[in-house]
């Protein structure tokens, strides 16, 4: 069959693998992207994605590997991703520009590949179109400039956190951002919750507080567990490959089990959280659910029950002098 490639005229793609490593070929070179890493494919760049271990076994007809890749993608329709402004943090911290990697030029030099017909799919105006191409699109022998695909190892993120008290806003974990129209909000933020030391003072509630947000929050889990949604008795909770969506101004916060455990935590010494790697796509835009998301069998229809059992934690009467 013919090879299949794609480019997106609508916007940039941010790809977050969760299961299996990816072998991504682009017009400007090749990238391997594994769980724990991300990559960005800018608008208009032709690319194709294969599973890394299957790609390596492509010539082995006896291979019956049935593994599949899984992950998350964020598409923005305006502007491009960039590093957040560090403000008073200074010159270093969060995602450092030196840790982002781009491909070197690579082209199909083998005539059997270079002259092989293929299908190129174009996403344009939220519709898909295709055309037949008589040769490989990967025929760029050299390039210069800074409009290019790139990857980043989330393990290189330099986390900043409170060393006294309270739970800072998760924007301190922003890896990449796309600017919005209003100051203080973003078209899209990519935020991670990496292994880190929770060095807060006594009498602090370490998980996220109960809140509503002017931003849409889409969360995913790459590996491990998320400290604010652990479930009950080993069941439920947030699982790798899963996702949650808290739309604009929808109240949410830690589940009952996480709340009960953390209000009992004296927080009298630093604690290292290294149980997982979660992330969040945060956007000032409202997100519309697809019909598949609404009706698929994986949808957790009793999600709100995670807050069952939360009891009033303040006194029924108050001392007017206090």
Catalytic hit among 27, 37, 217, 282:
217
Distance CA 16, CA 14 (A): 7
Cβ atoms within 10 Å of 294's Cβ, excluding its own: 8
39 and 72 Cβ atoms separated by less than 8 Å? no
CB neighbours of 143 closer than 8 A, spacing ≥ 6? 28, 105
User: Is residue 246 flagged as an active site residue?
Assistant: yes
**Is the Cα torsion angle 275, 228, 266, 264 positive or negative in sign?**
negative
Catalytic hit among 2, 135, 182, 211:
211
CB neighbours of 35 closer than 8 A, spacing ≥ 6? 17, 18, 19, 20, 21, 71, 222, 223
Catalytic hit among 27, 37, 252, 282:
252
User: Is residue 252 flagged as an active site residue?
Assistant: yes
Output the CA–CA distances (angstroms, integers) from residue 319 to 80, 125, 313, in the order listed: 54, 61, 16
User: Is residue 167 flagged as an active site residue?
Assistant: yes
User: Is residue 20 flagged as an active site residue?
Assistant: no
Distance CA 4, CA 137 (A): 10
Catalytic hit among 167, 274, 295, 311:
167
Burial class (CB in 10 A: 0-12, 13-18, 19+), 47: buried
7 and 46 Cβ atoms separated by less than 8 Å? yes
User: Is residue 80 flagged as an active site residue?
Assistant: no
Distance CA 182, CA 175 (A): 20
Residues labelled as active-site residues: 167, 211, 217, 246, 252
């Amino acid at each position: 069959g013919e090879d299949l490639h794609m480019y997106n005229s609508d916007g940039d793609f941010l790809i977050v693998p969760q299961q299996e490593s990816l072998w991504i070929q682009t017009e400007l070179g090749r990238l391997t992207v594994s769980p724990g890493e991300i990559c960005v494919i800018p608008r208009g760049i032709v690319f194709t994605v294969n599973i890394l271990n299957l790609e390596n076994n492509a010539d082995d007809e006896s291979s019956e590997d049935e593994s599949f890749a899984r992950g998350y993608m964020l598409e923005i329709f305006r502007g491009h991703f960039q590093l957040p402004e560090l403000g008073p943090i200074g010159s270093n911290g969060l995602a450092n520009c030196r840790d982002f990697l781009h491909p070197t030029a690579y082209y199909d030099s083998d005539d059997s590949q270079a002259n092989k017909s293929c299908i190129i799919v174009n996403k344009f105006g939220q519709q898909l179109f295709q055309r037949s191409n008589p040769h490989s699109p990967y025929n760029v022998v050299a390039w210069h400039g800074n409009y290019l695909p790139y990857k980043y190892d989330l393990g290189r993120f330099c986390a900043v956190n409170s060393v006294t008290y309270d739970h800072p806003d998760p924007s301190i974990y922003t890896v990449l951002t796309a600017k919005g129209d209003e100051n203080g909000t973003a078209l899209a933020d990519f935020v991670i919750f990496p292994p880190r030391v929770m060095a807060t003072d006594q009498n602090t509630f370490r998980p996220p507080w109960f809140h509503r947000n002017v931003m849409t929050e889409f969360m995913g889990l790459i590996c491990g567990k998320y400290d604010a949604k652990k479930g009950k008795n080993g069941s439920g909770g947030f699982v790798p490959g899963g996702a949650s969506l808290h739309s604009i101004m929808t109240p949410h916060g830690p589940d009952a089990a996480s709340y009960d455990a953390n209000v009992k935590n004296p927080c009298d010494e630093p604690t290292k959280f290294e149980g997982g790697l979660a992330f969040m796509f945060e956007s000032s835009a409202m997100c519309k659910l697809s019909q598949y998301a609404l009706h698929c069998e994986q949808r957790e229809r009793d999600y709100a029950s995670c807050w069952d059992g939360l009891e009033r934690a303040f006194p029924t009467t108050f001392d007017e002098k206090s």
